[in-house]
Amino acid sequence: MKIALTVEFNDGTKSEVDAVFADFVAFERTWQRSVARFETEIRLTDLAWLAWHSETRTRKTSLKFDPDWINTVTTVEIREEVETPKAD
């Protein structure tokens, strides 16, 4: 399971992050909500938290989620990844 996210910051820079298994487990532990409900009930805060947790896990940020990191962000969007076909 993975969600590819693009974070755009107030200064115009962008960061591409991948929310992975460790981020989803942390989400469920923190928010007491199942990620299985994302298909029908994903919130903007959920995407932002996953992006922040991924950046924290990969040491791209040391800011606290709210209000520090949130105040630096313009948008968080799900990006579609294109899979490259494997050569035979």
pLDDT band at 12 (very low <50, low <70, confident <90, very high): very high
52: nearest Cα among 11, 23, 10, 12 = 23
Per-residue pLDDT of 63-88, as tens digits, reads: 999 999 999 999 999 997 655 445 55
The answer for residues whose C-beta is within 8 angstroms of residue 11's C-beta and 6 or more apart is 72
What is the rounded distance in angstroms from the CA atom of residue 2 to the CA atom of residue 33? 17
pTM above 0.85, yes or no: yes
What are the residue ranges spanned by the domains of the chain? 3-78
Tens-digit pLDDT profile for residues 25-56:
999 999 999 998 887 888 999 999 999 999 99
Mean pLDDT of 8-27: 96
Neighbour-count burial of 56, counting CB atoms closer than 10 A to its CB (0-12 exposed, 13-18 middle, 19+ buried)? middle
Q: Which residues pair with 75 in a beta bridge?
A: 8
